[in-house]
Amino acid sequence: MKSVIAFSAMTLLLIALAAPCASADSVGRHPGALLIYPIFDSAPGAGTIVSVTNISQDTSIDAHFIYIDADNNWREFNRFEPLTPRDEFTIRASTHVAGAKRGFLYVIAEVLDNDKRDPDALNYLIGDEIVVDSKGNFLYALDAIAFCAKAPFNGNEDEYLDFDDEEFFKVSDKMYVSSFLGNIREGDGPALTSTLILVAILGSSDFETRLDLTPYNNNEAEASVSWRFRCWDAVDLLTIDGYFSDAFQRTTFNWDNRVTGTPWTSGWIEIDGDEAVDIIGNERKIEDPPFVGALVQSFGSFATGHLLHESAEDNPTNGRLDF
């Protein structure tokens, strides 16, 4: 059951988008009408600082924050924050939604008039997030993933966010991890872990998404593994497969032992959306599910993160956020 705190419906009566996108790509480093933050973490020992900015010179926007708590049966928390022209808003997630522990967040640009949604919502939002530890020390930062809406936004009035090249631009079902370092388990030396963060852009938590991963080492040798997740996930690469361990890389697949100046092995990953299956009982199956995500790598008390890169070729029209 959903728990909606500030607004009970997600009806998006947003038509007539006046602000053009910087490009025809579905996502990228340009302003959008929708921002997806791949993770928020308010579990003990962690915290997330979320920022959103309205770059418009003359348009006020109500930023609709929607937190999806994966640790609490996909419970939904809604918040609205007004952004005047050139305004910026930063808040710690645990302050915004006390009780939510871990999942992902998306922010929609809206204009509210007397508690009703105005038909104008524009591509003026940019944002980022910083994940911190219990002492407030910065661990890593990620840009919010911006999505441009097209006119008319929600023209079919189905109350969903559709990435069908009519409401929003399409989202790819193929992503790339530009590089990963060979992981080291605790006890085998200073631990090095890589966490793959995934957000399914298809349906809701009803669906389980299967991804096919093709990792390569630094000598072009490839492997084949798969992973299933429901809606959102943050999983260590070693949980997915032992291929990603530093020890395995050094002894298998002809790792290229050239001098690099780093103590770790390395590789990269191609990730392809295979299928999404409705696991609630409707027996629906959708091919080529789109998704977005990030990779976070941690060594000791230090961490760094980067977004996944999307393919320019594999862009289905079946993407949807439905919460």
Beta strand 174-181 with 125-133 is unpaired
Backbone dihedral angles phi then psi of residue 249, each to the nearest 5 degrees: -60, -35
- Between CA 10 and CA 288 the distance in angstroms is 26
Q: If DSSP states are collapsed to H, E and C, what string results for 247-307?
A: HHHHHCCCCCCCCCCCCCCEEEEEEEEEEEEECCCCCCEEECCCEEEEEEEEECCEEEEEE
The whole-number pLDDT of residue 115 equals 52
The fold adopted by the segment(s) 27-163 is: Hypothetical Protein Tm1070; Chain: A (2.60.290)
The whole-number pLDDT of residue 12 equals 30
The whole-number pLDDT of residue 154 equals 58
CA 307, 68, 316, 196 torsion: positive or negative? Answer: positive
The whole-number pLDDT of residue 155 equals 52
The whole-number pLDDT of residue 21 equals 57
The whole-number pLDDT of residue 120 equals 53
CA dist list (Å): 263 to 180, 184, 194 = 13, 11, 16
The whole-number pLDDT of residue 68 equals 95
Domain with CATH 2.60.290.11 in the chain: 27-163, 174-321
The whole-number pLDDT of residue 304 equals 95
The whole-number pLDDT of residue 187 equals 79
Structural class in CATH, domain 174-321? mainly beta
